[in-house]
A and B are shown apart, each in its own frame.
Chain A
Amino acid sequence: MRTYIARRALMLFPVLVGVSVATFLMIHIAPGDPVDLMMPDYGTAEDVARIRARLGLDQPLHIQYFRYAANVLRLDFGRSIRTNRLVKNEILSRWPMTIELTVASLLVAVGLGIPLGVLSAVKQNSVLDYTCMVGALIWVCMPSFFFALLLQLIFAMSLKLFPVFGRAGPPWTWEGFLSLVLPAVSLGARSAAILARLSRSSTLEVLRQDYIRTARAKGLAERVVVYKHALKNAVIPVATVVGLQFGGLLGGAFITETIFARPGVGRFAVLAIFNRDIPVIQAIALMMAVIFVMCNLAVDLLYAYLDPRIRYD
């Protein structure tokens, strides 16, 4: 197991370097000169040259990259082109809100998706099975922004059960919890549908195995067969997908935060895109990618721990 962890962690290194190169290059690929965006109209050519030198943009590309990488390791992402504030502070103050939303929607996805999927498989071809699978198919196909607006229209604007916009406080207060429900459900619904379909097929697969027949043959109660013998094995492949879903939720937070006007990094990033504020976008993209890669590593290790066969491939 230890060599497996070491090998997987080593494989991470080139990916992380690549991700940092990719985000570094954004500012050079972007059309237009970033210095022009920062300059007031009365700026002279000397001003432009001075700022260019201050930002190190007059250096050769590889020097610029090493400087960027060194700064990033210290969480120094430079200053926002628009507000001139430190990107680090802007992002760190918003980051917890986005993590709060993604974790809440992941809980919705896992808490709804896996039990419903397993139940559908256990009661295959029942009314429950058909309802869940038709529902899952629709949620997989429905754009999350459309679902979010539907929830807003029905539960916030018409029934007035939840606030329409904003974040009313931390999720452990009642108001804060209420304001998190609709965003978390709308963001998590698609993942819940994906997990439900997957856990259903995975459970069906396991229920066909010989050891399940053996368990039944020796007279175990169906409940014990399903929840003691089948469930553990059925959930293993689902676990890997949960990690992937977490990444999808991070990306989806851009949309959900915009719709529900939640003060997270996703909404901040969308505003930054309109302002062509590249340092902000660089930092958010980089941090999300790093978190996602780490998350996948954790899931892989968990997978190897749960299923020892994986370690020997």
Chain B
Amino acid sequence: MQLRRNRGAVAGMVVVLFFLLMAILAPYICPHDPLQVDYSRILAPPSLRHPMGTDWLGRDVLSRIIAGSRLSLSVGFIAVGIGLTGGTVLGLLAAFYPRLDNLIMRFIDILLAFPGLLLSITIVATLGPGLQNVMIAVGIGGIPGYARVVRGATLSVKENEYVQAARALGSSDVRILVHHVMPNIMAPLIVMITFGLASCVLSAAALSFLGLGAQPPQPEWGMLINEGRRYMLKAPWLVLGPGAVITMVILGFNLFGDGLRDALDPRLRQ
């Protein structure tokens, strides 16, 4: 496979797999209890016992980062799931039913009018702070992107002869969509999902950093940085550790996505 020849993509995949494994195995590999307070070791610098130091309650930072990988990555996956489902349904409908097309695309335009993080922030503001609402908000923020790609891909797939053949054989719209259109738009979609995971993890961390997402003592990455910044001068490891980890995860997803794009869909190559 072409993917294996791309060194960046392989590195990205290794990083992503590493963090996924970390998230799955989190309860078994934490060296300490991430919530265990230890007043005798407050703000201890990195050592053999605590490789990434301890926080202002003496909790082990490494354990909190490992436990946090579960929250941060699952928020990313669920948000992508929400955006993907919503975007795919809207995109397919818009491409398949010209009467709905205008309506749906105007709706997408309205979502796109709220730039960047603003859409997610506005939704969290409406629903109220909390990790669950962050997933919904970041998910909805992803809908326009998926809807546009799915619509575009479907419009071009729809014109193919095998779709017309299926229609001539009397297949229902749903059957055509599921069996003939979906498999053929998977390539751009998979690439988008990989990049989407990066941006969703990033947005969710940003919202948690603002205090709108995970609430203490949940060890979510963005929130770890937010909590740590009060002690930044005295204990910079509280910010540096989680910050480096988020950067690495995003880097992993982006490199992997670049490689997938080159391998799966040469047309998308920039």
Contacts and interface: CB of A to CB of B under 8 A. Distances in A.
Given A250-B118, A273-B124, A292-B113, A138 B106 contact: no
Interface of B is mostly: helix
Contact of A251 (B117, B127, B229): B117
A10 interface: no
B229 A149 contact: yes
B232 interface: yes
Contacts of A272: 125
Contact of A273 (B107, B114, B125, B209): B125
Contacts of A153: 232-233, 236, 239
Nearest to A295: B115
A254 B121 contact: yes
Given A18-B113, A26-B125, A142 B247 contact: yes
B108 to A, nearest CB: 10
B51 interface: no
A89 B270 CA distance: 46
A309 B63 CA distance: 57
Given A251-B121, A270-B210, A285-B122, A19 B116 contact: no
A292 B115 CA distance: 7
A137 to B, nearest CB: 7
Contact of A289 (B115, B124, B206): B115
A255 B114 contact: no
A137 B250 CA distance: 10
A141 B247 CA distance: 5
Interface string A284-295: 010011001100
A138 B251 contact: yes
Given A137-B254, A153-B232, A254-B117, A22 B127 contact: no
B113 A143 contact: no
B233 A247 contact: no
A28 B225 CA distance: 34
B46 interface: no
A306 to B, nearest CB: 21
B212 interface: yes
Nearest to A202: B270
B202 interface: yes
Interface string B228-270: 0100110010010001001100110010000000000000001
A251 B115 contact: yes
B118 A258 contact: no
Interface residues of A, number: 51
B105 to A, nearest CB: 10
Contacts of A288: 114-115, 118
A150 interface: yes
Given A137-B251, A254-B121, A274-B211, A145 B225 contact: yes
A4 interface: no
B126 A29 contact: yes
A263 to B, nearest CB: 17
B73 to A, nearest CB: 15
A31 interface: yes
B121 A149 contact: no
B113 A19 contact: yes
Nearest to A291: B115
Contact of A146 (B210, B246, B270): B246
B225 A146 contact: yes
Contacts of A157: 232-233
A248 B203 CA distance: 12
Interface of A: 14-15, 18-19, 22-23, 26, 29-31, 137-138, 140-146, 149-150, 152-153, 157-158, 201, 244, 246-252, 254-255, 258-259, 269-270, 272-274, 276, 278, 281, 285, 288-289, 292-293
Interface of B: 106-107, 109-110, 113-118, 121-122, 124-129, 198, 202, 205-206, 209-212, 222, 225, 229, 232-233, 236, 239, 243, 246-247, 250-251, 254, 270
Given A18-B106, A146-B243, A153-B236, 20 more contacts: A18-B109, A30-B128, A137-B254, A140-B254, A142-B250, A143-B202, A143-B209, A143-B222, A145-B225, A149-B225, A150-B243, A157-B232, A248-B115, A249-B116, A250-B115, A252-B116, A254-B121, A273-B129, A276-B128, A288-B115
CB-based closest 10 A-B pairs = A247-B115, A251-B116, A18-B110, A146-B243, A248-B116, A251-B117, A251-B118, A141-B250, A141-B251, A273-B125
15 contacts: A14-B109, A19-B110, A22-B110, A26-B122, A31-B128, A142-B247, A145-B206, A146-B225, A149-B229, A149-B232, A157-B232, A248-B116, A249-B116, A251-B116, A285-B114
